[in-house]
Amino acid sequence: MSYLTEATPGPARPQGTAGGGNAVVGYLGGIRDVVVLEMKQRLRSRGWYIMLGIWFVVIAIVTWLTWLAWNASMESRRSIGEPAQDAAGSMVFEVVLAFVLLFGLLVAPALSANAINGDRAGGTLAILQITLLTPGQILWGKFCAGWLAALAFLGTSAPFLIFGMLQGGLTPGHVLVSLLMLAVELAVICGLGVGISALAGRPLFSIVVTYLVVAALVVGSLISFALGSQLAQGTVLANSPVSHSVPYAPLTPDGSGPAVPVTPVEPGFTCEGPLVEQRAFRTERVAWMLALNPYVVVADAIPYPDRSGTAYYSAGLIEGISQSARTALAGPEHSYQCANGMVQPQYLRQTTPLWPLGLTLQVVLTGLLMWLGWRALRTPARGLARGTRIA
């Protein structure tokens, strides 16, 4: 009498049978097996390539329209005699970056929020659970597969970010940091989706909940910050700013060009008069809520040029988000031009970044959901919801 000894494909040996590096290699090998299986299933689908094509076309249209809008703006300035001093790169780059992050937040939940319960509904999750794969390997494999799929969408948008850099006003560091932070944010959203997918019994429910969590991070953080600011009120001593004249000189030697300041002057006023107690919002107490926003995390991590020595500057969309977050972190001292009788800078340097706090909070939330998902995947299961399919 013979017995069939061949097992379903999985790690080379059960976890814990080998010590040291072999156990780590075996664990990573199990994650690799799940990733390969997931990616093969995705690549067989024609809809996968259609989605990538639509993504590429949409980002191309956004880039083209932004470039046309910048050219029209520069033509309008030239028609009234103003010089076109700004390069197109900053505007194109920031608009494309904002749209890529928006589309990424919409696509990532769809790629990960049914990773676990989708297999459970199809009767294939139990097949994985009876192999030598551990719950952690299944969970991490599903997460890595969803993240790789999301990175494919990010990779198709990278040429447009590089195009914005080539238009001037930016450095390769802007593109590299932006792509890195976008990849990290996609990983966070994919982790949220996989964790919720392991906890929820129905794929549709987990997808809806994941989108609600993403909406809470993007919109809910703004609402929470606004309401929290109303509850965290205080006072600050401030006097009145008194403007003074700024010397101007013609742009061209013959005097035909528009006037510009001779030297950068910041801030163009002095603080005079007695200090008066003013009502202010203690935004620094609730700035952590704002830090949860993915846009704040990405915008605040990008290294912008130091504009603190210039009298006038124009901040783009993404840089404006970063400055708004830093203003909130600065608190009431930056809400008045002459707080505490001192001239407050109009531009806040990136000396105290807010993005590490926001990213840490996001990772903690993702880690909690992944841990709960790992507990839900352990076998034998103590209890299952009514109607749950096993095989």
Given a cut of 70, whether residue 302 has pLDDT beyond it is yes
What are 371-387's pLDDT values in tens digits?
Answer: 998 888 877 666 666 65
Least confident of 165-179, 290-304, 327-341: 327-341
Tokens of 59: 């980002």
What confidence tier does 182 reach under pLDDT thresholds 50, 70, 90? Answer: very high
pLDDT digits (tens, 9 = 90+) for 223-275: 998 888 888 777 777 666 666 655 544 444 444 444 444 444 455 566 666 67
Higher pLDDT, 362 or 354: 362
**Full-model pTM:** 0.80
